[in-house]
């Protein structure tokens, strides 16, 4: 229970704490293969299903914003007994929540890993730059669908989408679409600049074929952070679902940069 409401999460491994926040429409179970690689790197992984997903109760109406999700993550950490600042990782929508959690609850977060994260200030339809606040739903939807291609990635990602996103949509359609709207319009430039001034260690991972979080949005996010550690990889928005081994290799290097211990033994992530 978090704030008196049901919450679900996965947990595995030993070492310093690492909190992983999933992307929009999915939940902690969707990333099980990728998180198993993270556990091998020698950290204690906690992966909550955020409010409205995976059976975790939705946020109340007045808290249904990115700041409210960030507050929930901080309370989740207190509830499960994380007593030290954690490495916080977020994919896509989860990256935006991680940014707010680090901004609003700085004692909870020691460092950030933003994976194809929302938060850049602009999007680019054709040759025109627009504020992220004005990005229309159809543009978001088109690129989400295109992200499932090519075929090799589709064969790995589509079963995850069908197995997790559709049940989440059916379980709580209001929370599902509300969170999607928050992700689509998020401009977190101010929060990112504050993290830069605080010298928060940040690594930014981005798939080079991502059109959901475009190159321009990625560049804006990096610019607001100053000089984060940046890793670009082949693949699209969901590359870490399609290629968990690459995620594991990248994270081993990121943990070394952040000065966090690594381990060789693999530990299975449990839901």
Q: Is residue 49 part of a domain?
A: yes
pLDDT band at 145 (very low <50, low <70, confident <90, very high): low
Say which range, 57-61, 129-133, 241-245, has the weakest mean pLDDT: 129-133
Q: How far apart are CA 89 and CA 111, in angstroms?
A: 9
152 pLDDT above the threshold of 60? no
Pairing, β 17-21 against β 9-12: unpaired
261 pLDDT above the threshold of 80? no
Q: Is residue 111 part of a domain?
A: yes
Q: Is residue 188 part of a domain?
A: yes
Domain, as residue range, for 28? 9-257
pLDDT band at 265 (very low <50, low <70, confident <90, very high): very low
Number of domains observed in the structure of the chain = 1
Q: Is residue 245 part of a domain?
A: yes
The pTM for the full model equals: 0.89
Region of 136 (left: φ > 0; alpha: ψ -120 to 50; beta: rest) is: beta
Q: Is residue 191 part of a domain?
A: yes
């Amino acid at each position: 229970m978090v704030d008196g409401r049901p919450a679900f999460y996965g947990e595995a491994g030993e070492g310093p704490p690492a909190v992983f926040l999933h992307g929009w429409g999915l939940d902690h179970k969707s990333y099980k293969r990728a998180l198993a690689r993270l556990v091998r790197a020698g950290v204690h992984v906690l992966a909550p299903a955020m409010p409205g997903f995976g059976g975790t109760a939705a946020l109340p109406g007045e808290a249904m914003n990115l700041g409210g999700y960030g507050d929930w993550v901080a309370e989740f950490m207190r509830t499960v007994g994380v007593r030290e600042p954690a490495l916080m990782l977020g994919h896509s929508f989860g990256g935006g929540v991680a940014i707010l959690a680090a901004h609003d609850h700085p004692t909870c977060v020691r460092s950030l890993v933003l994976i194809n994260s929302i938060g850049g200030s602009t999007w680019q339809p054709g040759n025109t730059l627009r504020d992220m606040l004005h990005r229309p739903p159809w543009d978001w939807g088109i690129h989400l669908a295109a992200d499932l291609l090519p075929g090799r990635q589709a064969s790995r990602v589509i079963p995850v989408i069908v197995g997790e996103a559709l049940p989440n949509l059916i379980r709580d359609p209001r929370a599902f679409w509300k969170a999607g709207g928050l992700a689509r319009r998020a401009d977190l430039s101010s929060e990112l600049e504050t993290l830069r001034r605080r010298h928060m260690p940040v690594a930014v991972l981005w798939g080079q074929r991502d059109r959901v979080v475009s190159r321009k949005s990625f560049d804006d996010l990096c610019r607001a952070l100053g000089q984060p550690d940046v890793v670009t990889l082949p693949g699209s928005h969901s590359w870490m679902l399609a290629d968990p081994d690459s995620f594991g290799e990248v994270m081993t290097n990121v943990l070394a940069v952040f000065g966090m211990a690594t381990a060789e033994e693999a530990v299975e992530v449990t839901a």
